[in-house]
A = this chain, B = another copy of it.
Amino acid sequence: MELVRRRVATRALAPGEKLPSIRGLAASMGVSPSTVVEAYDRLAAEGLIRSRPGSGFTVVGSLPLALAEVAPPVDRAVDPFWVSRQSLDGGPDMLRPGCGWLPAAWMPHATLRRAVRTLAKADDALLTDYGATRGSLALRGFLARQFAGEGLEVGAEQILLTASGTQAVDLIGRLLLQPGDTVLLDDPCYFNFQALLRAHRVKIVSVPMTPTGPDMALFAQALAVHRPRLYITNAAIHNPTGATLSPQAAHRVLTLAAAHDVTIVEDDIFAEFEPEPSPRLAVLDGLARVIRIGSFSKTLSASVRCGYIAARADWIEALIDLQVATNFGGPSPIASEIVFRAMTDGNFRKHLGALRTRLAKKRREVSGMLEALGIRPWLEPRGGFYLWCCLPDGCDAAKLAQAALREKVVLAPGNVFSIAQTAGNWMRFNVAQMSDPDLPAILRRALKSAAD
């Protein structure tokens, strides 16, 4: 195959020209004719060559063979998409202290590979059919049992699998939001909530985050003044701050939400990183006005796309129709099967325990390294991989991020997380992505360059 590709690329074989006969090429390369047949079949399947009855194989046309990925421009504006686009498309030689996931080497590969090997032996229907609209019953049953362990009793029919945690929020927005509605977010908050809500044409208001939850006086005021339809927040370990909701704040948020008839979306994506469980709005509320969403991207695999929604039964019914209308179903049944197999693999629990220990150590190390550069974490998070940090006085995070990008380092500047744009002097760091020994020196140079 490589031989033919090269000859086509170098025009040694021109468009329309006949390829060497199967027998001739096999003899000249010292391989069996069936090997050449297979190579020609694959090249034909790729569209590079074509078989014409009676005249053998010919080259299809001159085609761009050297396809390279297009990296995002370095001078792209720093907006809520900046971190995503740079992190996702930056290429393999970038360092990514700004990205929102663990390095590939930290993920549970043995568990995943076992699950994929089992998949090769699955039923025909699992490999080819759409699957039920709610998604895998096995995985929903697993989630229902996990929730029951937290004291939240829900039937598997109250759980809808989605193509991702993000799509879960998107579907909820489609169900509950009208253009022009208002949605309340934490400030700072996960930047993609903003990007997503803009696609829903709604107004966004925000309340400052404290180490124990939203600022309660301002939260109450925002509900009264802006009458938001939804409040979207993180459970367990808040992104980007690492804050944890206190029991008092949790109860107060629910009381205020009930008084103002606000629905809450609680994103539980970081649950597995907690050393001990913290209060959950979804559990306290029993899914009356709280919708729980989550995914498996942070601890198992971001490649296996699968998220979920747990909510009131009538909302789930309406969400199913919306998911059919906009995606003809949720996650790949193949993806759900891999997730279910992995989640019930005893080794995965052990992996999670080791991961929490590894991250705790890394958070301490990186905190020390950053403090030596004058970059101070806001608080010491109970778990996870983020440190929300204050930069040295007068340092502009967006400028620092652009300076770092020129050195092939993707950072996550504060204002991409801030609705009120009050985090210009802040930066989110992912401790798991900061093991490169050159990083302290690069950050020092970028800090200097941003200050100039």
Query: How far is A70 from B346 in the complex, measured between Cα atoms in Å?
Result: 30
Q: How far is the CA of A321 from the CA of B89 in the complex (A)?
A: 12
Which of B50, B126, B305 is in CB contact (< 8 Å) with A331? B305
The answer, among B63, B109, B144, B324, for a CB contact under 8 Å with A81, is B324
Residues from chain B with Cβ under 8 Å of A305 in the complex: 163, 305, 327, 329, 331-332, 335
A415 within 8 A of B: no
A252 within 8 A of partner (CB): no
The interface residues of chain B lying within 8 Å CB-to-CB of A326 are 166-167, 170, 196, 199
Closest CB in chain B relative to A175 CB, distance in Å:
10
Binary B-proximity of A331-361 (CB < 8 A = 1, otherwise 0):
1111100100001111111000000000000
A170 to B191, CA, bound (A): 22
Q: Please measure, in the bound complex, the distance between the C-alpha atom of A349 and the C-alpha atom of B116, giving whole angstroms.
A: 25
**A137 contacts B by Cβ under 8 Å:** yes
Contacts of A338 in B (CB 8 A): 334
> What's the number of copies of this chain in the assembled complex?
2
Is B81 a contact partner of A45 (Cβ separation < 8 A)? no
Please tell me which one of the listed residues B61, B104, B325 contacts residue A196 in the complex, with CB atoms under 8 A apart. B325
Cβ-neighbour of A148 out of B63, B141, B331 (below 8 A) = B63
A150-178: CB near B (< 8 Å → 1, else 0) gives 00000111000001111100100010000
A225 adjacent to chain B (CB < 8 Å): no
A127 within 8 A of B: yes
Binding-face segment, A16-24, A276-284, A296-304, A403-411: A296-304
Among the 9-residue stretches A36-44, A231-239, A422-430, the one with 4 or more Cβ atoms under 8 Å from chain B is A36-44
Contacts of A202 in B (CB 8 A): none
The answer to whether B128 touches A45, judged by C-beta atoms less than 8 angstroms apart, is no
| CB <8 Å contact, B112 and A127 | yes
Task: Verify A155–B64 contact, CB threshold 8 A.
Answer: yes
Query: Is A448 an interface position by the 8 A CB rule?
Result: no
Q: Is A312 an interface residue, CB under 8 A from the partner?
A: no
Given A107-B128, A199-B174, A326-B166, decide whether A47 and B332 contact each other with a Cβ distance below 8 A: no
